[in-house]
Amino acid sequence: MRCKLVEMTGVVKLRAGGSLLQQIPNDPRHLEALLDFYAGAGVDCFLQDEPVDWVALTRAQAAQRALAGQHAAAPTHAQQPRQQAPAGNFQGQTGSPVPAAPVAPQAISVPPAVAGQAPVLPDREIIAAARDLAATAPTLEELRNCLGGFDGCNLKLTAKKLVFADGNPQAKLMFVGEAPGRDEDLQGLPFVGRSGQLLDRMLGAIGLDRSSAYIANVVPWRPPGNRTPTPQETEICKPFILRQIELVNPDVLVFLGAASAKTLLGVQDGIRKMRGRWMTYPCKGREISAIATYHPAYLLRSPLEKADMSCFEATAYDLTEKGCWIASDRVDLLKEEVGLRLAGFDKLVRGTVIAYGDQQAQISFQTKRETSGEKRREIRRQVWITAIVCGKTNPATMRCRIVDASRSGCRLEGDKLDRLPDDIEVSIPGLDLPISAEIVWRKNNQAGVRLTWPFEASPKPKPEDVLERMKEEDEKPKRKRKKKISAFGG
């Protein structure tokens, strides 16, 4: 998306495609909110000052390839140079694009890398061109140069740098991820952000470092907004990673995440089923041992899945919805938060150790009190209310803020919330009575609170109760109505 910000007196106008999209006051807060919206939508950079009709350019490029195929047999066009159709040769939506001169066919029909290059249609021709180009690279350096000159993937238009690989090409261990992120795009190296730091610690835990491994990605360019690469983009970049694996020729191939394993192995299982299971990857007449594991970015979002936690088998008994007891001679290795994978269940059950015994421990499950449907029906509004919070048994009070709230709960924000007990009372200006509440989670100076109001609305009667009440009314003996008699008789 090409946009242009034009600052005028009193307003900031955002122009794109020659039309005025939005007028906002000349207020930094409004402009910041608008830019945050674009960043959330994936528009994280401005490429040009003026808008370009990419649809028309793409159609013209397809027309050029069609004309090149029609005139392939004509010897007069063999030496004709390729011409790039300027943006001014195309009309609007109602007009038709004016094709440029016929283009001579080449061995690999990939558009040249020039400034303002139009995006290409991800068709079979581009995938075949990528496959032919990757097969011609005899070394990793030549493969990198081929990727640098390849313009068949539109991700190159928005990425800042090509993220090829890092590590030792002579290593016997190779890691393959899905696509680079923001930090990788800025430095041109894979896994250099927070996920890369975690990967370095994982390698250090087994006595290795980046000089002992080779790291690459299936897609070498960052997708806009860190979105997931489309299947077309993955297929276009797939021949290059296949050739890269052939040139490195490792003994062990580790897939970081399910996306890279599904692309290169053709499996459809989830990462939980693939993790820990050895597979084979065919490469140049031999089979490479391959295994899949969690992506470091996923481990940062789910700390309980980290492999550095103590993992052992135990016997569970007294199993209820609220928790259970486990028996093992290694319960002393457990931390406060644990994860249980019960036999017959694929999902990980999260829990908290609340008591220890003789080679046994009591686990309290962290279950959700509400279903997802109830959460969707309840509207949570953003607020900014000062509240006074104290423990039910502790008279000490603490001032904090309520940042969003609903009828059943709210979210508190403030310092030292970890010092509060689970059972608290919340006092809000304007309400005479304190509200009983329970803290259900705490994280980063915030806490989720479930409210218990001192008054409850009368529940709606159930349909069966209404029918029972109507039946009782019908069974009651009806009183006979007295007949009115006039004073004259009759």
User: Cα–Cα distance between 441 and 424 in angstroms, integer?
Assistant: 13
**Could you report the per-residue pLDDT of 304-338, keeping only the tens digit for each?**
666 445 567 888 888 888 888 888 887 777 777 77
Q: Can you give the pLDDT at residue 235?
A: 93
Look at residue 35 and tell me if it is in a domain: yes
**CA 450 → CA 349, 366, 367, 391, distances in Å?**
22, 15, 14, 14
Q: Can you give the pLDDT at residue 452?
A: 81
Q: Of the ranges 9-18, 144-153, 231-240, 437-446, which one carries the lowest mean pLDDT score?
A: 9-18
More confident residue, 297 or 111: 297
- 18 sits in which H/E element: none
The residue-averaged pLDDT of 441-463 equals 73
Q: Can you give the pLDDT at residue 374?
A: 41
Look at residue 330 and tell me if it is in a domain: yes
Q: What is the DSSP string of 212-253?
A: G-EEEESS-SPPGGGPPPPHHHHHHHHHHHHHHHHHH--SEE
User: pLDDT confidence of 480, banded at 50, 70, 90?
Assistant: low
User: Is there a single domain that holds both residue 250 and residue 204?
Assistant: yes
Domain extent, residue 218, equals 125-301
Q: Of the ranges 15-24, 372-381, 383-392, 476-485, which one carries the lowest mean pLDDT score?
A: 15-24
Q: Can you give the pLDDT at residue 210?
A: 92
User: Is there a single domain that holds both residue 296 and residue 318?
Assistant: no
Pair 124, 87: CB distance under 8 Å: no
Q: Can you give the pLDDT at residue 4?
A: 42
Q: Can you give the pLDDT at residue 84?
A: 43
The residue-averaged pLDDT of 283-287 equals 87
Q: Where are the beta strands (DSSP E) in 196-336?
A: 214-217, 252-256, 279-283, 286-293, 315-317, 323-327
By three-state DSSP, how is residue 4 classified? strand
Global pTM?
A: 0.46
The residue-averaged pLDDT of 15-22 equals 42
**CA 258 → CA 101, 111, 196, 199, 293, distances in Å?**
46, 32, 17, 16, 8
Q: Which of 270, 301, 332 is the last residue before a domain boundary? A: 301
Residue 124: pLDDT above 80? Answer: yes
User: pLDDT confidence of 88, banded at 50, 70, 90?
Assistant: very low
Residue 450: pLDDT above 60? Answer: yes
Q: Can you give the pLDDT at residue 87?
A: 40
User: pLDDT confidence of 402, banded at 50, 70, 90?
Assistant: confident
Q: Which of 128-142, 293-307, 352-366 has the highest mean pLDDT?
A: 128-142
User: Is there a single domain that holds both residue 141 and residue 282?
Assistant: yes
Look at residue 84 and tell me if it is in a domain: no
User: Is there a single domain that holds both residue 189 and residue 243?
Assistant: yes
Look at residue 94 and tell me if it is in a domain: no
Burial annotation 290-303 (CB, 10 A radius, 16+ → b, else e): bbbbbbbbebeeee
Residue 12: pLDDT above 60? Answer: no
User: Is there a single domain that holds both residue 267 and residue 323?
Assistant: no
User: pLDDT confidence of 115, banded at 50, 70, 90?
Assistant: very low
Q: Can you give the pLDDT at residue 490?
A: 38
User: Is there a single domain that holds both residue 326 and residue 392?
Assistant: no
The residue-averaged pLDDT of 2-12 equals 40
User: Is there a single domain that holds both residue 285 and residue 146?
Assistant: yes
- Check which CATH number belongs to the domain holding 279 and give it: 3.40.470.10
Which two tokens mark 79? 């030496």
- How far is Cα of residue 289 from the mean position of the Cα atoms in its chain? 29
Residue 20: pLDDT above 50? Answer: no
Look at residue 16 and tell me if it is in a domain: yes
Residue 7: pLDDT above 60? Answer: no
Q: Of the ranges 126-135, 159-168, 443-452, which one carries the lowest mean pLDDT score?
A: 443-452
Q: Can you give the pLDDT at residue 465?
A: 73
User: Is there a single domain that holds both residue 148 and residue 230?
Assistant: yes
Q: How many CB atoms lie within 10 A of CB 349?
A: 16
What percentage of the chain carries pLDDT values higher than 90? 27
User: pLDDT confidence of 175, banded at 50, 70, 90?
Assistant: very high
- How far is Cα of residue 356 from the mean position of the Cα atoms in its chain? 38
Look at residue 46 and tell me if it is in a domain: no
User: Cα–Cα distance between 56 and 93 in angstroms, integer?
Assistant: 8
How many domains does the chain fold into? 4
Q: Can you give the pLDDT at residue 61?
A: 81
The residue-averaged pLDDT of 414-433 equals 78
The residue-averaged pLDDT of 112-135 equals 73
Q: Can you give the pLDDT at residue 5?
A: 41
Q: Can you give the pLDDT at residue 290?
A: 94
Q: Of the ranges 42-51, 133-142, 286-295, 448-457, which one carries the lowest mean pLDDT score?
A: 42-51
Mean pLDDT rounded to a whole number for the chain: 75
User: Is there a single domain that holds both residue 240 and residue 273?
Assistant: yes
3-state helix, strand, coil split of the chain in percent (to 5) is 30, 25, 45
User: Is there a single domain that holds both residue 171 and residue 296?
Assistant: yes
The residue-averaged pLDDT of 136-157 equals 93
Look at residue 109 and tell me if it is in a domain: no
CA distance between the termini of the chain: 95
Q: Can you give the pLDDT at residue 430?
A: 64
User: Is there a single domain that holds both residue 199 and residue 259?
Assistant: yes
- Check which CATH number belongs to the domain holding 442 and give it: 2.40.10.220
**Could you report the per-residue pLDDT of 45-81, keeping only the tens digit for each?**
666 667 777 778 888 888 887 787 676 545 444 444 4
The residue-averaged pLDDT of 407-413 equals 83
Q: What is the dihedral of CA 27, 28, 30, 34, to 10 degrees?
A: 140
Q: Can you give the pLDDT at residue 83?
A: 42
- How far is Cα of residue 489 from the mean position of the Cα atoms in its chain? 91
User: Is there a single domain that holds both residue 294 and residue 168?
Assistant: yes
Look at residue 90 and tell me if it is in a domain: no
